[in-house]
Structure 1
Amino acid sequence: MKTLYDVQQFLKGFGLIIYMGKRLYDIEMMKIELERIYDVGLIDKLTYIEAELVLRREHRLELEYEEKKGVKQT
């Protein structure tokens, strides 16, 4: 997995479609759901780590984007 889209499609395979209306919230919810899937043993550690790294990167980039645009964080 290399992109946020890849992670979204991966989660979709488990019946999870996440849309909260704000990209940052979507990423955070994907992290939560990914961790739950891993904790119950449905995915291996390598897959979990790959997806987690993508989500971390996207979260960081989204925070930087919001700071640049001056969007207030709640």
Structure 2
Amino acid sequence: MKTAYDVQLLLKQFGCYVYFGDRELELEYMMDELKEMFLSNLIEKEQWVQGVSILQNELTKVKRK
């Protein structure tokens, strides 16, 4: 995974489609979903860490605007 879109595709594999119309809320929701997927052992720790890092960077960019 390299982009927030890649994280969205991962979530989509598990039936989680994310579109609220508010990018900040979408990113926060995706982070929560990743955490729940990790805690449920649906994804590996590496995927979780990488995904959260990508989303956190994207969230920082969005908040700066």
- Short-chain TM bin: over 0.9
Larger radius of gyration between Structure 1 and Structure 2: 1
Secondary structure at the aligned position of 1:59 is classed as helix
Per-residue CA distance 1:29-65 (angstroms, 9 max, x = gap): 0001110000011111001001010000000000011
After superposing on structure 2, the runs of 4+ consecutive aligned residues of structure 1 that deviate more than 3 Å are none
Question: Separation in 1 of the partners of 2:43 and 2:4?
Answer: 18
Aligned to 2:25: 25
Secondary structure at the aligned position of 2:19 is classed as coil
Identical columns (%): 35
Aligned to 2:11: 11
Q: TM-score, normalised by structure 2?
A: 0.96
- Provide structure 2 residue ranges, at least 5 long, that are not aligned to the other structure: none
Aligned to 2:55: 55
Aligned positions, number: 65
Q: TM-score, normalised by structure 1?
A: 0.85
Question: Separation in 1 of the partners of 2:59 and 2:22?
Answer: 12
Query: Could you say what the CA RMSD is over the residues aligned between the two structures, in angstroms?
Result: 0.6
